[in-house]
Amino acid sequence: MFVLAHLSDPHLGPIPEARLSEILGKRFFGLMNWIGARRRNFGATTLAALMDDLKLQAPDHIAVTGDLVNLSLPTEFDTGATFLASLGTPQDVSVIPGNHDAYVRSALSYHLERWAPFLAGDESCPDTPLDVGSFPYVRRRGPVALVGVSTAIPTAVFLASGEVGEAQLQRLREILISLKKEGLFRVVMIHHPPVGERHYHRDLRDAAAFRRVVAEVGAELVLHGHDHRASLGMIESVDGPVPVVGVPSASAGPQDGRGPGRYNLYRISGEPGAWQCQMESRGYLAGDTEVAQRDLRQLVGAQPGI
């Protein structure tokens, strides 16, 4: 059995000191959002307790689906790198960027540079810098293949949308076909939810195209963040239904209105054509400061509960 942990959207605080020239435009409004709401609802103590519980579960690998930072200030990415290293080695931790990790155009390369060991695919050359063409990346771990997709694009003020892009979608199609031939359990990591309805300012612009790729060539599991809510959807594919799972922010306290902090564990076993995947959600309930099991269900190998 292979155990994969999934967390997302820690939005690591506090906001570091910055020059006035750095807090202009979109960053200014993001700072106001932090001061007005996130600073109260998100906390280092909440996140630390959740991560302590995660480490006790001793998963084989940890997937982090983006939004480690808030305003994409340079020093925030150092904090993000420290957080990733606290979870484990790059061999045991995989990350993809979220929209806050590409908050402004001038910061687009920061996550590629400072989180490179956790973003590099199996075929990446250590001497070659990562760029947007490095996605999707592939990391094979035991019976599992993690496929990291980037939807992180700089957007205008008040927009939090994302996009995969045609070139990346084509590579994703080829990768999923190849990994199926290898007999691996394919886990696609993507920040923006590819299913469900949401306002255009927060959506995945090419969600339909992403779903079409998965529908036509298959996958075993899709993991996302962004909404700060626990969710479960499905994409019907040639290989059967593909669960699409979202988690709340890992830093959200028990009082957070969209959902207190949680992470998921996926226990994967079986073989091609007979995969089994059980999901356990661990974290907080509203008003409860104890980290505990909150949900347990079969995702693959039995009819998933919705």
What is the pLDDT, as a whole number, of residue 250? 96
Supply φ then ψ for residue 146, to 5 degrees: -95, 125
Question: Among 174, 179, 94, 177, which residue's Cα sits nearest to residue 144?
Answer: 179
> Which of 13-27, 92-106, 276-290 is predicted least confidently?
13-27
Contact status, residue 57 vs residue 5, Cβ threshold 8 Å: yes
Residue 91 lies in a domain: yes
Residue 306 lies in a domain: no
Question: Residue 305: pLDDT band by 50, 70, 90 thresholds?
Answer: very low
Average pLDDT over residues 267-281: 97
- The pTM of the full predicted model, rounded to 2 decimals, is 0.93
Residue 305 lies in a domain: no
**CA dist., res. 179 & res. 198, Å (int):** 31
Residue entry with tokens 């306002």: 199
Tell me the residue range of the domain where 147 lies: 2-300
pLDDT tens column, 103-137: 888 888 999 999 999 999 998 877 787 888 899 99
**Residues in CB range of 117: below 8 A, 6 or more apart:** 90
What is the pLDDT, as a whole number, of residue 82? 98
CATH of the domain at 15: 3.60.21.10
The neighbour count for residue 37, using CB atoms within 10 Å, is 12
How many domains does the structure of the chain reveal? 1
Question: Among 215, 225, 221, 235, which residue's Cα sits nearest to residue 275?
Answer: 221
Residue 204 lies in a domain: yes
Between residues 33 and 278, the one the model is more confident about: 278
pLDDT tens column, 195-249: 987 787 889 999 999 999 999 999 999 999 999 999 999 999 999 999 999 999 9
Is the pLDDT assigned to residue 304 strictly greater than 60? no
pLDDT tens column, 44-82: 889 999 999 999 999 999 999 999 999 989 999 999 999
**CA dist., res. 194 & res. 207, Å (int):** 5
Query: How long a stretch of residues is the chain?
Result: 306
pLDDT tens column, 168-202: 999 999 999 999 999 999 999 999 999 987 787 88
